[in-house]
Amino acid sequence: MTWSAKLIKHNSESRIAVYFEKNQDLITRIKQIAGARWSQQKTVWHLPDSPENRLRFNIEPMANSVPSTEAIIQIEKFKQWMRSKRYSESTISTYSEALKSFLIFYREKAVVEINNEDVIIYNNDYILKNHLSASYQNQTVNAIKLFFMTVRETKIEVDKIHRPKRAKLLPNVLSKEEIKLILNAHSNIKHKIMLSLIYSCGLRCGELLALQPVHIDSQRNIVLLKNAKGQKDRIVPLSPKILDMLRQYYKVCKPTTYLFEGQTAGMPYDSRSLQLVLKQALQKAGIKKPATLHWLRHSYATHLLESGTDLRYIQELLGHSSSKTTEIYTHVSTKSIQQIKSPFDDL
């Protein structure tokens, strides 16, 4: 899929135009971006000109929007420090870009002179003014705190930098009937087993695609997840039904390095292609909900809770560091709610 993006002016507002041949999957993804609009006049999809969207569509900052020489050196040191601590390349990229935006805002000010008041001003005069998301604000605060923890001479008091209040969003959950329709939608054994493994083991997309044949322990009926999120290994139980499916799959596809490989042998399956596999399953199953792969993981956790599994075990299975993260599933479990009788029934 080929596309290009560039900055445009639309109704005197700076926007990012995205050009591509008509593709329903990309249109659906663009529609999910806050502020995305279709221009009938210019016949193009366009998005707010924000650091998030510039990063998303690989648009370079404008020539006069670059950090100072000192800031460039500090950002590079920050990257090196994160690499030495084994942060993922994704986190390094996200944090360094967020810090870069912050230091561009204060390009005329020495890094050592930046204080807590400057963080508040940046939040109000840049993040909030440009209607950037709370998650972007949170990432920026994380980056600023981590950066200034590694800089010795500073006027920043790291402990006094506060994160934005998070929106309390409930995870999206599918019913067991919907899950069954999705998992039975594909006749292709690779597509079927990939979606089935995500649901049956509560895997993240990246965890599934990093699996190797040696990570399947058929003697103990477990899956070993190596270097999962947060650089933590964990094990999850393997359903005997899934094991039978895996044996059939192995005979047909004969994977080499990774359990699920793409068109190039020895290379992992592409995450975007896997999203498309789910989208096709939803269409075949006649399910209109905008489900993502992570919905399968949410559904796994919720269904375990509804069947009586202790929350502490679910926390271990999902690889959550904090029990508070796992407790969110108690708010979407319907087991207790369905037993409550509405007073309307007695009228």
Among residues 10, 107, 279, 294, the one annotated as catalytic is 294
Active site residue 131: no
- What burial class does residue 257 get, using C-beta atoms within 10 Å of its C-beta: 0-12 exposed, 13-18 middle, 19+ buried? exposed
- Which is the catalytic residue, given 95, 249, 258, 329? 329
Closest CA to 4 of 17, 23, 14, 13: 17
Count, residues in the chain: 347
Q: How far apart are CA 14 and CA 193, in angstroms?
A: 45
Is residue 37 annotated as part of the catalytic site, yes or no?
Answer: no
Short-list 271, 294, 274, 290, CA closest to 282: 290
Q: Which of 145, 226, 284, 320 is catalytic?
A: 320
Active site residue: 191, 297, 298, 303, which one? 297
Q: Is 229 a catalytic residue?
A: yes
The CA distances from residue 302 to 19, 174, 206, 318, in Å, are: 40, 9, 21, 11
Q: Which structure tokens are listed for 259?
A: 């359990």
The set of residues, in sequence order, having a beta carbon less than 8 Å from that of 265 and lying 6+ positions away, is 256, 257
In the block, which residue shows the tokens 């087991």? Answer: 335
Rounded to the nearest angstrom, the gap between the alpha carbon of residue 141 and the centroid of all alpha carbons in its chain is 18
Say how many C-beta atoms besides its own lie within 10 A of residue 198's C-beta.
24
Q: Is 294 a catalytic residue?
A: yes
**Residue in 10, 145, 229, 234 annotated catalytic:** 229
| Cβ-contact 186, 283 below 8 angstroms | no
**DSSP-based three-state secondary structure for 5:** strand
Rg, the chain, Cα only: 23
The HSE-up count of residue 289 (CA atoms within 13 Å, CB side) is 15
CA 193 to the chain's CA centroid: 22
Q: Which helix (H) or strand (E) covers residue 228, if one does? A: strand 222-228
Spot the catalytic one: 10, 204, 215, 234: 204
Enzyme catalytic residues: 204, 229, 294, 297, 320, 329
